[in-house]
Amino acid sequence: MSLESQKFETQAVRTQTDKTQFLEHSTPMYLTSGFVFEDSEEMRASFAEEKDRNLYSRFSNPNTTEFVDKICKLEGAEDGYAFATGMAAVFSTFAAILNSGDHIVSARSIFGSTHSLFTKYFPKWNIETSYFPVNEVDKIESLIQPNTKIIYAESPTNPGVDVLDLELLGEIAKKHKLLLIIDNCFATPYLQNPINYGADLVIHSATKLIDGQGRVLGGVTVGKKELIREIYLFSRNTGPALSPFNAWVLSKSLETLAVRADRHCANALKLAEFLESHAKVNWVKYPFLKSHPQYDVAKKQMKLGGNIVAFEVQNGVEGGKTFFDNIKMCSLSANLGDTRTIVTHPASTTHSKLAVEDKLAVGITNGMVRCSVGLEHIDDVIADIAEALEAI
């Protein structure tokens, strides 16, 4: 049986670094900053990259390599590099590829810190970004300029849970010879593989569902070999590397991603269905609900609907406040993709700095709740949310 023909679950479990002389079953932690050489010739050849081996953990380490190898297999990518955080992955990917004067076309609904990069920091280096509304992918072509280099998007989006047609994005990028970069954080490699639709690079915040237990931060970029080479060279000099400890945790987490994601998604669908029929809820958005505006696209490109459910409670800000103050079990936190169900109020927390129009443009209303559905028994999650809704 060839390794390439193995299924997702098998590759997630069986991709491992070479065993040491102790023949350990589970990969050990390689908590070492550097590696030693036999002699001066080996040292010279290693630094000249004539030899493929570990030199220094800012460049590579057996634990980070194992983690990256797994993500590459699970995403169908040629190569990758692992970062200390998802944002280090996003920043380093753009910084390695772009030059002053380049232009990005991006979906408007993107992670808050990525939005800050595009609007606050990149303009300092003369890199401009044009946004297209998530539900108007047909606007993309009109935003492309001679200096455009990248089309960028997340799907499903945060916190609006909108879905972008990856196949269409891939076609537009190919037609205009642009790089397509997708932040695949919400879907994980288990639900969708953007490379199948023409993405050149895929980014993950491993902090979310890849860790899945709210413990460590991490990020990774995978994709075309020649692009990863640029990202690697940039990163080995600038230092955003993932720690071996976190890489070990994240590689272990990937062993259970498929079973966790199956349950996360089944729970989220049940909650979404419950909310859809609740009198105190104005609307619910979940990719695998028939009422979702991009339901057909979601069904085409996603294996399951993900673990994020967005909904609007009645009575705007007041309703939201009452809802959150009456939640007893679920966590009020800004993180997502944890075993514990988390409810967030984007309007007053993660997106509070946005102007009202900008909030509405990315689907955030005052009564909107974002729920990251966890792995508790779904009956208990629904009971907690139902009680809080009753209080409104």
Task: Give φ, ψ of 293 to 5 degrees.
Answer: -60, -30
Residues 206-235 that bind ligand PLP (CB under 6 A): 207-208, 217, 219
3-class secondary structure, 15: coil
Taking the C-alpha atoms of residue 83 and residue 250, their distance in angstroms, rounded to an integer, is 12
Q: Which stretch binds ligand PLP (CB under 6 A): 7-15, 80-88, 311-319, 324-332?
A: 80-88
Residues 151-180 that bind ligand PLP (CB under 6 A): 154, 158
Q: Examine residue 192 and tell whether it contacts ligand PLP (CB under 6 A).
A: no
Taking the C-alpha atoms of residue 386 and residue 94, their distance in angstroms, rounded to an integer, is 43
DSSP 14: H
Q: Which stretch binds ligand PLP (CB under 6 A): 202-210, 239-247, 353-361, 370-378?
A: 202-210
* Angle 191-195-198 from CA coordinates, rounded to 5°: 130
Query: Applying CB under 6 A, which of residues 185, 247, 289, 343 lies at the interface with ligand PLP?
Result: 185
Taking the C-alpha atoms of residue 75 and residue 270, their distance in angstroms, rounded to an integer, is 28
Cβ distance to ligand PLP smaller for residue 220 or 281: 220
* Number of shown-chain residues binding ligand PLP (CB under 6 A): 14
Cβ distance to ligand PLP smaller for residue 111 or 131: 111
Query: Applying CB under 6 A, which of residues 69, 79, 102, 183 lies at the interface with ligand PLP?
Result: 183
Whether residue 156 contacts residue 127, with contact meaning beta carbons closer than 8 Å, is answered with no
Q: Which stretch binds ligand PLP (CB under 6 A): 81-89, 95-103, 224-232, 313-321?
A: 81-89
Q: State the CB neighbour count (10 A cutoff) for residue 266.
A: 15
Q: Which stretch binds ligand PLP (CB under 6 A): 12-20, 200-208, 304-312, 347-355?
A: 200-208
Query: Applying CB under 6 A, which of residues 72, 74, 87, 385 lies at the interface with ligand PLP?
Result: 87
Q: Examine residue 85 and tell whether it contacts ligand PLP (CB under 6 A).
A: yes
Peptide bond into 156 cis (omega under 30): yes
CB of 51 to ligand PLP, least distance (A): 33
Q: How many CA atoms lie within 13 A of 332 on its CB side?
A: 13
Q: Which residue is nearest to ligand PLP (CB)?
A: 86
Q: In angstroms, how far apart are the furthest CA atoms of the chain?
A: 74
Cβ distance to ligand PLP smaller for residue 158 or 267: 158
Question: Which residues, in sequence order, are CB contacts of 326 under 8 Å at separation 6+?
Answer: 387, 388, 390, 391
**Alpha-carbon 365 to chain mean position:** 23
Residue located via tokens 């696209």: 297
What does the buried/exposed string (b/e) look like for 231-258 if buried means 16 or more CB atoms within 10 Å of the residue's CB? bbebbbeeebbbbbebbbbbbebbbebb
Cβ distance to ligand PLP smaller for residue 55 or 265: 265
Q: Which stretch binds ligand PLP (CB under 6 A): 7-15, 37-45, 135-143, 203-211?
A: 203-211
CB of 146 to ligand PLP, least distance (A): 29
Residues 34-73 that bind ligand PLP (CB under 6 A): none
**Which residues lie near ligand PLP (CB under 6 A)?**
85-87, 90, 111, 154, 158, 183, 185, 205, 207-208, 217, 219
